[in-house]
């Protein structure tokens, strides 16, 4: 019976992470969590070292989010950044 507790706790944590990810709202603008990090010197250096395609994708997401924010709109639900896609990208 003790072996079931960690699995239940893990499922609960995954459910909470998904809920929190959606509650933050940045996914409704097509952003990833890493796009919202405050840019200090270390982060600026990390961004500078990104591969060109990853950097271009990030800049596209940021520009689109700014445009949507100015228009006070959000993306259609099928274009929201999904928690599962971000987890795949990080791994």
Within-domain flag for 89: no
Q: Give residue 62's domain range.
A: 26-79
| Count of domains observed in the chain | 1
Q: How confident is the model at residue 11 (pLDDT cuts 50, 70, 90)?
A: confident
> Which tokens in the block code for residue 19?
């809920």
Within-domain flag for 4: no
- Residue 64, helix vs strand vs coil: helix
Contact partners, residue 42, CB within 8 Å, separation at least 6 = none
Within-domain flag for 58: yes
Within-domain flag for 21: no
CATH number at residue 51: 1.10.1090.10
Q: How confident is the model at residue 72 (pLDDT cuts 50, 70, 90)?
A: very high
Residue 91 pLDDT more than 50?
A: no
Q: How many residues comprise the chain?
A: 91
- Higher-scoring residue by pLDDT: 2, 17: 17
Within-domain flag for 1: no
Within-domain flag for 62: yes
Residue 52 pLDDT more than 50?
A: yes
- Residue 33, helix vs strand vs coil: helix
Look over the chain and give the mean of its residue pLDDT values, rounded to a whole number: 86
């Amino acid at each position: 019976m003790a072996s079931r507790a960690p699995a239940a706790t893990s499922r609960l944590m995954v459910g909470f992470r998904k809920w929190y990810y959606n509650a933050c709202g940045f996914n409704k603008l097509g952003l990833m969590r890493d796009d919202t990090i405050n840019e200090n010197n270390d982060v600026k250096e990390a961004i500078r070292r990104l591969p060109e395609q990853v950097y271009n994708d990030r800049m596209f997401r940021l520009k689109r989010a700014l445009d949507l924010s100015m228009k006070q709109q959000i993306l259609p639900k099928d274009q929201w950044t999904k928690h599962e896609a971000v987890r795949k990208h990080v791994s």
